[in-house]
Amino acid sequence: MALELLSGRILAPTFGSSIYVWGAVITVFMVALSVGYLIGGRISLLSPSLARLAALHLLSGLLLLPIMVAAIPVLDSIFTITEDPRMGALLASMVLFFLPAMVCGCVSPVAIKLLIKDVQKAGFYAGLQYFFSTFFSAAGTLLTSFYFVLIFEVNEILWLLFGVTAAMAAFAFTISKTAAPAPEAA
C-alpha cells in the first residue's frame, strides 16, 4: 500500500493527480496483485519453503530499486508518446509498478501454504495471514501518507521500503536455515 500511495506522487509531476491517474494506479495494482495471487498459488504447489518465501520477499524489494532509477526517464518517454493523463498514467503504472505489485501478490499464497499443517485449520491460517497482511498494509498506508511524505523524499521512502523488505527476507531466510526440516508425509 505504501508503494501504491507513492505511485501517485511519482506520476503527479507528469500526469497530475486526477481521478484518471488514481484510477489507473489502483487498476494496475489490483490486476498485478490478482496475477500475483494466481502465480503464488502455483508456486505454493511446487514444494514451498521458508527460503523460497524469503526469496519472494527479497525479489519484491529488489523490484523497487528500478523505480528509483527509471521513473523519470519512463515518465518522460511515455509523455512524449501520449499527453493523455489516462493513457499515460495507465502505461506508466504498468511499466513501473506492475512487477513489484505482482511479486508482492505471490507472497500470501506461499505463506498460507507454509502455515497449514492441518487442513481443518486452513481457514484459520488463511484468515490469520490476511489479517496481518491487511493490518500492516493499513499501518504502512498511514505512516506513508501521514508522516513519511512529510519527512522524506519519495526515493528515500522507497529505500526504506526496500530495507524493511530485505530485512524481513533476511530474517525469514535465517529462520529457514536454523529450523528443523519438516518430516515427510507417508
Domain boundaries, the chain: 2-173
What's the pLDDT at 96?
97
Average pLDDT of span 87-93: 96
User: Which residue bears the cell 498460507?
Assistant: 112
Rounded Cα–Cα distance for residues 13 and 9 (Å): 8
Buried b (16+ CB within 10 A) or exposed e, 92-104: bbbbbbbbbbbbb
Q: What three-state secondary structure class fits 10?
A: helix
Average pLDDT of span 124-152: 91
Residue 4 has pLDDT above 60, yes or no: yes
What pTM did the predictor assign? 0.87
Average pLDDT of span 27-34: 97
Buried b (16+ CB within 10 A) or exposed e, 16-36: eeeebbeebbeebbebbbeeb
Phi then psi for 83, rounded to 5 degrees? -95, 0
Residue 165 has pLDDT above 60, yes or no: yes
Where does residue 179 rank: exposed (0-12), middle (13-18), buried (19+ CB within 10 A)?
exposed
89: cell is 498514467
**Cβ distance 35 to 105 under 8 Å?**
yes
The total of other beta-carbon atoms located within 10 Å of residue 153's CB is: 11
What's the pLDDT at 97?
97
What's the pLDDT at 186?
44
| Rounded percentage of the chain residues whose pLDDT exceeds 70 | 96
Average pLDDT of span 85-113: 95
**Cβ distance 154 to 132 under 8 Å?**
no
